[in-house]
Amino acid sequence: MSKIYLEILDKPRKSTLNKLGKFSSLGYLAGGTALALQISHRVSLDFDFFIRKPASRTLVKKCREVFGEEIQLVRETADQLTILTPSNIKIDFVYYWYPLINSLIKSPPVNLASVVDIAADKAETIGRRATWRDYVDIFFLLKWKLFTLNNLISNALRKFKGEFNELLFLEQLVYFEDLEMTNITFLKEEYSEAEVKQYLGKKVKQLLKEQKF
Protein backbone atom coordinates (compact mmCIF):
# COMPACT_ATOMS: atom_id res chain seq x y z
CA MET A 1 0.00 0.00 0.00
CA SER A 2 1.21 3.52 -0.81
CA LYS A 3 2.26 5.67 2.14
CA ILE A 4 -0.51 7.98 3.29
CA TYR A 5 0.55 11.22 5.00
CA LEU A 6 -2.24 11.71 7.51
CA GLU A 7 -0.10 14.30 9.31
CA ILE A 8 -1.06 16.88 6.66
CA LEU A 9 -4.47 17.07 8.34
CA ASP A 10 -5.20 18.92 11.56
CA LYS A 11 -7.33 17.27 14.25
CA PRO A 12 -10.75 18.51 12.97
CA ARG A 13 -9.92 17.35 9.44
CA LYS A 14 -8.71 13.95 10.61
CA SER A 15 -12.06 13.62 12.35
CA THR A 16 -13.83 14.67 9.14
CA LEU A 17 -11.85 12.12 7.13
CA ASN A 18 -12.87 9.39 9.56
CA LYS A 19 -16.51 10.41 9.26
CA LEU A 20 -16.24 10.29 5.47
CA GLY A 21 -15.61 6.58 5.97
CA LYS A 22 -19.38 6.31 6.49
CA PHE A 23 -19.74 7.23 2.79
CA SER A 24 -17.09 4.80 1.49
CA SER A 25 -19.65 2.64 -0.33
CA LEU A 26 -20.79 5.69 -2.32
CA GLY A 27 -17.46 6.82 -3.78
CA TYR A 28 -13.92 7.93 -3.02
CA LEU A 29 -11.79 10.91 -2.00
CA ALA A 30 -10.23 12.89 -4.86
CA GLY A 31 -8.90 16.40 -5.48
CA GLY A 32 -6.21 18.32 -3.63
CA THR A 33 -6.60 16.62 -0.26
CA ALA A 34 -6.34 13.13 -1.78
CA LEU A 35 -3.22 14.31 -3.62
CA ALA A 36 -1.67 15.86 -0.51
CA LEU A 37 -2.33 12.66 1.45
CA GLN A 38 -0.21 10.83 -1.13
CA ILE A 39 2.63 13.26 -1.92
CA SER A 40 2.62 15.60 1.14
CA HIS A 41 3.30 18.80 -0.82
CA ARG A 42 0.91 21.27 0.83
CA VAL A 43 -1.79 21.62 3.44
CA SER A 44 -5.27 21.05 2.06
CA LEU A 45 -8.33 22.29 3.90
CA ASP A 46 -11.35 21.03 1.95
CA PHE A 47 -12.56 17.60 0.85
CA ASP A 48 -13.68 16.51 -2.62
CA PHE A 49 -15.62 13.25 -2.46
CA PHE A 50 -16.56 11.80 -5.84
CA ILE A 51 -19.82 9.85 -5.82
CA ARG A 52 -20.99 7.33 -8.41
CA LYS A 53 -24.64 8.40 -8.47
CA PRO A 54 -26.30 11.84 -8.58
CA ALA A 55 -26.65 13.60 -5.24
CA SER A 56 -30.06 13.19 -3.61
CA ARG A 57 -32.01 14.10 -0.50
CA THR A 58 -30.91 10.76 0.90
CA LEU A 59 -27.31 12.02 0.77
CA VAL A 60 -28.31 15.21 2.58
CA LYS A 61 -30.00 13.12 5.27
CA LYS A 62 -26.90 10.97 5.65
CA CYS A 63 -24.70 14.07 5.95
CA ARG A 64 -26.89 15.31 8.80
CA GLU A 65 -26.69 11.92 10.50
CA VAL A 66 -22.90 11.73 10.20
CA PHE A 67 -21.82 15.37 10.64
CA GLY A 68 -24.73 16.72 12.68
CA GLU A 69 -27.96 18.60 12.08
CA GLU A 70 -26.04 21.90 12.18
CA ILE A 71 -24.41 21.39 8.76
CA GLN A 72 -24.90 24.22 6.27
CA LEU A 73 -26.02 23.40 2.74
CA VAL A 74 -23.98 25.59 0.40
CA ARG A 75 -24.99 23.97 -2.87
CA GLU A 76 -27.52 21.26 -3.64
CA THR A 77 -27.90 19.99 -7.21
CA ALA A 78 -27.91 16.53 -8.78
CA ASP A 79 -24.28 17.04 -9.79
CA GLN A 80 -22.94 18.42 -6.54
CA LEU A 81 -23.77 18.68 -2.86
CA THR A 82 -21.58 21.11 -0.93
CA ILE A 83 -21.80 21.30 2.84
CA LEU A 84 -20.03 23.10 5.67
CA THR A 85 -19.60 20.95 8.75
CA PRO A 86 -20.11 22.37 12.26
CA SER A 87 -16.29 22.75 12.30
CA ASN A 88 -16.56 24.97 9.18
CA ILE A 89 -14.92 22.38 6.92
CA LYS A 90 -16.15 22.34 3.34
CA ILE A 91 -17.00 19.02 1.69
CA ASP A 92 -17.99 18.74 -1.97
CA PHE A 93 -19.83 15.55 -2.90
CA VAL A 94 -19.42 15.55 -6.68
CA TYR A 95 -21.27 13.23 -9.04
CA TYR A 96 -18.41 11.96 -11.17
CA TRP A 97 -19.04 9.57 -14.03
CA TYR A 98 -15.65 9.52 -15.75
CA PRO A 99 -13.84 6.16 -15.64
CA LEU A 100 -10.75 5.74 -13.51
CA ILE A 101 -7.39 5.25 -15.23
CA ASN A 102 -5.88 3.40 -12.27
CA SER A 103 -7.43 1.42 -9.45
CA LEU A 104 -8.35 3.26 -6.27
CA ILE A 105 -5.78 3.46 -3.49
CA LYS A 106 -7.11 1.29 -0.68
CA SER A 107 -6.73 3.36 2.44
CA PRO A 108 -8.98 3.28 5.48
CA PRO A 109 -11.25 5.01 6.26
CA VAL A 110 -11.87 5.96 2.60
CA ASN A 111 -10.32 4.95 -0.70
CA LEU A 112 -8.37 7.58 -2.63
CA ALA A 113 -8.15 8.36 -6.32
CA SER A 114 -4.68 7.53 -7.62
CA VAL A 115 -2.16 10.30 -8.30
CA VAL A 116 -2.50 9.48 -12.01
CA ASP A 117 -6.26 10.12 -11.91
CA ILE A 118 -5.96 13.23 -9.77
CA ALA A 119 -3.32 14.65 -12.12
CA ALA A 120 -5.60 14.05 -15.12
CA ASP A 121 -8.48 15.70 -13.25
CA LYS A 122 -6.28 18.70 -12.44
CA ALA A 123 -5.28 19.07 -16.10
CA GLU A 124 -8.93 19.05 -17.13
CA THR A 125 -9.80 21.56 -14.40
CA ILE A 126 -7.11 24.01 -15.56
CA GLY A 127 -9.05 24.46 -18.80
CA ARG A 128 -12.30 25.30 -16.94
CA ARG A 129 -12.53 26.84 -13.48
CA ALA A 130 -9.17 26.36 -11.86
CA THR A 131 -7.98 27.86 -8.59
CA TRP A 132 -4.44 28.84 -7.66
CA ARG A 133 -4.22 25.58 -5.68
CA ASP A 134 -4.71 23.61 -8.91
CA TYR A 135 -1.77 25.40 -10.50
CA VAL A 136 0.38 24.73 -7.44
CA ASP A 137 -0.59 21.05 -7.52
CA ILE A 138 0.43 20.72 -11.18
CA PHE A 139 3.64 22.62 -10.41
CA PHE A 140 4.63 20.00 -7.83
CA LEU A 141 3.64 17.08 -10.07
CA LEU A 142 6.04 18.45 -12.68
CA LYS A 143 8.74 19.78 -10.33
CA TRP A 144 9.04 16.49 -8.47
CA LYS A 145 9.10 14.65 -11.80
CA LEU A 146 6.01 12.60 -11.03
CA PHE A 147 4.79 13.51 -14.53
CA THR A 148 5.82 15.38 -17.64
CA LEU A 149 3.43 17.72 -19.41
CA ASN A 150 3.09 15.07 -22.12
CA ASN A 151 2.10 12.53 -19.45
CA LEU A 152 -0.55 14.86 -18.07
CA ILE A 153 -1.96 15.54 -21.52
CA SER A 154 -2.04 11.89 -22.61
CA ASN A 155 -3.73 10.81 -19.36
CA ALA A 156 -6.30 13.60 -19.60
CA LEU A 157 -7.06 12.66 -23.22
CA ARG A 158 -7.42 9.04 -22.18
CA LYS A 159 -9.82 9.93 -19.38
CA PHE A 160 -11.85 12.77 -20.89
CA LYS A 161 -11.37 12.06 -24.60
CA GLY A 162 -12.82 14.83 -26.79
CA GLU A 163 -13.85 16.90 -23.77
CA PHE A 164 -10.19 17.71 -23.06
CA ASN A 165 -8.52 20.35 -25.20
CA GLU A 166 -4.74 20.14 -24.89
CA LEU A 167 -4.08 23.54 -26.46
CA LEU A 168 -6.55 25.21 -24.11
CA PHE A 169 -4.89 23.43 -21.19
CA LEU A 170 -1.45 24.74 -22.19
CA GLU A 171 -2.80 28.26 -22.73
CA GLN A 172 -4.56 28.31 -19.37
CA LEU A 173 -1.54 26.87 -17.57
CA VAL A 174 0.31 30.14 -18.20
CA TYR A 175 -2.67 32.53 -17.96
CA PHE A 176 -3.07 34.02 -14.50
CA GLU A 177 -4.91 37.30 -15.15
CA ASP A 178 -8.31 36.34 -13.71
CA LEU A 179 -6.94 34.04 -11.04
CA GLU A 180 -7.59 34.81 -7.39
CA MET A 181 -4.37 34.22 -5.51
CA THR A 182 -4.77 32.37 -2.22
CA ASN A 183 -2.21 31.57 0.45
CA ILE A 184 -0.65 28.12 0.28
CA THR A 185 0.91 26.39 3.28
CA PHE A 186 3.77 24.34 1.85
CA LEU A 187 5.10 21.26 3.61
CA LYS A 188 8.41 19.94 2.24
CA GLU A 189 9.50 22.72 -0.13
CA GLU A 190 8.31 26.32 -0.33
CA TYR A 191 8.04 28.36 -3.53
CA SER A 192 6.94 31.89 -4.29
CA GLU A 193 4.06 32.76 -6.58
CA ALA A 194 6.58 34.07 -9.13
CA GLU A 195 8.62 30.84 -9.03
CA VAL A 196 5.53 28.71 -9.67
CA LYS A 197 4.44 30.87 -12.59
CA GLN A 198 7.93 31.02 -14.08
CA TYR A 199 8.40 27.25 -13.89
CA LEU A 200 5.04 26.49 -15.49
CA GLY A 201 5.78 29.00 -18.24
CA LYS A 202 9.14 27.39 -18.91
CA LYS A 203 7.64 23.91 -19.15
CA VAL A 204 4.88 25.02 -21.52
CA LYS A 205 7.37 26.91 -23.71
CA GLN A 206 9.62 23.83 -23.91
CA LEU A 207 6.74 21.57 -24.90
CA LEU A 208 5.42 23.97 -27.53
CA LYS A 209 8.90 24.20 -29.03
CA GLU A 210 9.35 20.41 -29.06
CA GLN A 211 5.91 19.62 -30.44
CA LYS A 212 5.78 22.60 -32.84
CA PHE A 213 2.12 23.31 -32.09
Confidence of residue 128 (pLDDT cuts 50, 70, 90): confident
Look at residue 200 in the predicted model and tell me its pLDDT.
99
Mean pLDDT of 49-62: 98
Average pLDDT over residues 10-24: 98
- The per-residue pLDDT for range 100-127, each reduced to its tens digit, is 999 999 999 999 999 999 999 999 999 8
Domain boundaries, the chain: 1-113, 114-213
Distance CA 213, CA 208 (A): 6
Q: Is the pLDDT of residue 193 over 70?
A: yes
CATH tag, 1-113: 3.10.450.620
Q: What is the DSSP string of the chain?
A: -----GGGS-HHHHHHHHHHGGGTTTEEEEHHHHHHHHH--B----EEEEESS---HHHHHHHHHHH-TT-EEEEE-SSEEEEE-TT--EEEEEE--SPPSSPPB--TTS-B--HHHHHHHHHHHHTTS--HHHHHHHHHHHHTTS--HHHHHHHHHHHHGGG--HHHHHHHHT--TTPPP----BSS----HHHHHHHHHHHHHHHHHHHT-
**Tens-place pLDDT, residues 135-153:** 999 999 999 999 999 999 9
Q: What is the pTM of this model?
A: 0.95
- 105 alpha carbon, distance to own chain's centre: 15
- Please tell me the predicted confidence (pLDDT) of residue 212: 64
- Structure confidence at residue 213 (pLDDT): 57
| Averaged pLDDT for residues 64-82 | 98
Please report the pLDDT score of residue 211 as a whole number: 82
The band of 58, judged by pLDDT with boundaries at 50, 70 and 90, is very high
Say yes or no to pLDDT of 1 above 80: no
